[in-house]
Amino acid sequence: MAKTPITAPPRWLKLVNRLVIGLQKLGLPLGTMRLLTVRGRKSGQPRTTPVSPLTVDGKRYVIGGFANGDWVANARANGDAVLARGRHRENIRLVELPPDERGPIMRAFPREVPHGVPMFVKAGIVENPTPDEFEKGAAKVVVFRIEAR
């Protein structure tokens, strides 16, 4: 039986994100995680969230598992962002992919970001952690291509 997709992040995620942000700022890298900072669409203030970019065919991408998440809405409103790991900062542009181009990127996710797979399963985006399931779940997420700015 398929789960109904969760449209908003779980409440505990905000606390975990704060912890990850603090560790990253101290220079303690955590797997594939980076800090993505995008200006708030309403406040104009920088907003930071942990993300796990992945590379497919030489291009980098980041996936928004919760299409209604704040960072996704901010990135849609203003694609200019900063991607950081420790002290290394990179100015980037986020370009949203149309739904028909998301499949191959999602298919690569379980291999490229294995620690992120459980979140997609728990959220009901995929039923099981296979590349085929992730490709089927592409319509339920937002995928941004990362470009140099």
Q: In what order do the strands lie in the sheet with 59-64?
A: 46-51, 34-39, 80-85, 88-96, 142-148, 59-64, 54-56
pLDDT in tens, the chain (149 residues): 444 545 556 666 676 777 777 777 777 777 778 999 999 999 999 999 889 999 999 999 999 976 667 899 999 999 999 999 888 899 999 999 999 999 999 999 999 999 889 888 888 889 999 999 999 999 999 999 999 98
96, 74 in Cβ contact below 8 A?
no
14 in helix, strand or coil? helix
12-148: what fold?
Answer: Pnp Oxidase; Chain A (2.30.110)
Which residue ranges make up each domain of the chain?
Answer: 12-148
